């Protein structure tokens, strides 16, 4: 099968008074149709910036400086980097074919309109995704909204669509947000730490809901999290990011059973009980995440790596196949360095 989305050597920089921050520094990965891809890493590793770049939502002083983002539409493959961020085609894709469930649930809705009204507007805006031949009527869009509320497990949907986002509990707001993201029948859903703001029980429900919706609609999902435990429940394939680069990627089972990269191993050690009830974040990775202005030369992980060798601080390891199913960028496994 052909990838739905293919990110190639993406670089995003922020030019600040204090200096240049290379937030994404040569990231590549693919998303297949209907696949759940997990993207994992500590905060500041470039996960969210990568996703904003896909949606062409990088604002100044940030800029995509290099790379390609190929997205497969009905009409063919387009490079999103080449599209004007505010142009018509990008607006069709953003919110229409690629939808974002943001980290901050409050930010998804305006406080002055009911949640249902906002979803109705989104459906009317991308009406052709539901009905290619003609424009949907407002009452048809309202019926779809009620159906979406039901799909995401909101009881009494006929009444609930008339509430405001600030009247909903955290869990319901999360569900309404997912309904909003589904309102355009996206091919690709980007979920950016969608469960950080809610309690553990609701978290489990939202994850189950997303799995269910993925199976039902065959929507591809990029699931961004700092929590490998969540990846284990959600994704089939995982990309591990550190300081704007991919450290390792592969099928979730293989990565969990035989991690190749020292950073992935450290992340895995920080989950004491993967399937247990308690999950405490243990700071087992020694050393702090470097300040963004002081990117280490060579392998970005070398100041914290227990296996560091001499060449690690001079050359940047390439992302290369290691074993049968994984890719890793680490000199423990190969000698290939990237041109700096």
**According to the binding rule CB under 6 A, does residue 29 interact with ligand SF4?**
no
Residues 238, 250: contact at Cβ < 8 Å?
yes
> Nearest Cα to 247, choosing from 305, 287, 181?
305
Residues 6+ apart with CB under 8 A from 98: 5, 54, 55, 71, 186, 187, 188, 189, 190
CB–CB of 316/298 below 8 Å?
Answer: yes
Is 330 a residue that touches ligand SF4 (CB under 6 A)?
Answer: yes
Stretch that binds ligand SF4, among 16-24, 35-43, 268-276, 309-317 (CB under 6 A): 309-317
48 binds, among Mg ion, ligand SF4, none (CB under 5 to 8 A by kind): Mg ion
Nearer of residues 48 and 203 to Mg ion, judged by Cβ: 48
How many residues of this chain bind ligand SF4 (CB under 6 A)? Answer: 14
Residues between 259 and 318 that touch Mg ion (CB under 5 A): none
Are the C-beta atoms of residues 266 and 278 closer than 8 Å to each other?
no
Contacts of 243 (CB under 8 A, 6+ apart): 25, 44, 45, 46, 289, 290, 295, 300, 301
302 belongs to the binding site for ligand SF4 (CB under 6 A): yes
- Which residues between 250 and 269 bind ligand SF4 (CB under 6 A)? 261-262
Question: What whole-number distance in Å separates Cα of residue 223 and Cα of residue 216?
Answer: 17
**Restricting to residues 40-99, which ones interact with Mg ion according to CB under 5 A?**
48
Cβ proximity to ligand SF4: between 223 and 331 the closer is 331
Query: What are the structure tokens assigned to 267, written together?
Result: 């992340």
User: Which residue in 305, 319, 322, 327 binds ligand SF4 (CB under 6 A)?
Assistant: 305
Residues 55-94 that bind ligand SF4 (CB under 6 A): none
Closest to 332 in 3D by CA, of 268, 265, 236: 265
Closest distance between ligand SF4 and the C-beta of residue 332, in Å? 5
**301 lies in the site for ligand SF4, by CB under 6 A:** yes
The listed partner (Mg ion, ligand SF4, none) that binds 302, CB under 5 to 8 Å by sort, is ligand SF4
Query: Closest distance between ligand SF4 and the C-beta of residue 326, in Å?
Result: 14
CB-based burial label for 59 (10 Å; 0-12, 13-18, 19+): exposed
Element of type H or E holding 79: strand 76-79
Kindly state the number of chain residues that form the binding site for Mg ion, as judged by CB under 5 A. Answer: 1
Q: Which residues bind Mg ion (CB under 5 A)?
A: 48
Q: Which residues bind ligand SF4 (CB under 6 A)?
A: 261-262, 299, 301-302, 305, 307-309, 312, 317, 330-332
């Amino acid at each position: 099968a052909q990838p739905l989305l293919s990110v190639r050597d993406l670089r995003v920089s922020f030019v600040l008074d204090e200096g240049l921050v290379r937030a994404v520094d040569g990231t590549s990965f693919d998303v297949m149709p209907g696949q759940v891809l997990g993207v994992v890493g500590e905060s500041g590793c470039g996960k969210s910036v990568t996703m904003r770049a896909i949606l062409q939502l990088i604002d100044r002083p940030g800029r995509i400086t290099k790379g390609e983002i190929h997205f497969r539409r009905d009409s063919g493959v387009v490079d999103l980097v080449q599209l004007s961020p505010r142009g018509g085609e990008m607006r069709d894709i953003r919110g229409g074919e690629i939808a974002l469930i943001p980290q901050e649930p409050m930010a998804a809705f305006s406080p002055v309109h009911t949640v249902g009204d906002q979803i109705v507007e989104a459906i009317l805006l991308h009406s052709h995704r539901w009905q290619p031949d003609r424009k949907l009527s407002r009452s048809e869009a309202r019926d779809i909204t009620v159906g979406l509320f039901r799909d995401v497990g909101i009881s009494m949907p006929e009444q609930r669509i008339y509430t405001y986002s600030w009247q909903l509990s955290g869990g319901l707001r999360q569900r309404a947000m997912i309904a909003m993201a589904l309102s355009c029948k996206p091919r690709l859903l980007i979920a950016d730490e969608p469960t950080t703001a809610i309690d553990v029980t609701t978290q489990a429900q939202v994850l189950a809901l997303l799995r269910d919706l993925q199976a039902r609609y065959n929507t591809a999902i990029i699931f961004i999290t700092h929590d490998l435990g969540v990846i284990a429940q959600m994704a089939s394939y995982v990309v591990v990011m550190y300081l704007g680069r991919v450290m390792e990627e592969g099928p979730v089972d293989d990565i969990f059973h035989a991690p190749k990269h020292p950073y992935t191993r450290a992340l895995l050690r920080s989950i004491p009980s993967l399937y247990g009830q308690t999950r405490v974040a243990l700071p087992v990775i020694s050393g702090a995440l470097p300040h963004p202005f002081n990117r280490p030369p060579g392998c970005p992980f070398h100041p914290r790596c227990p296996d560091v060798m001499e060449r690690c601080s001079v050359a940047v390891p390439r992302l290369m196949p290691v074993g049968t199913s994984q890719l890793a960028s680490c000199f423990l496994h190969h000698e290939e360095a990237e041109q700096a």
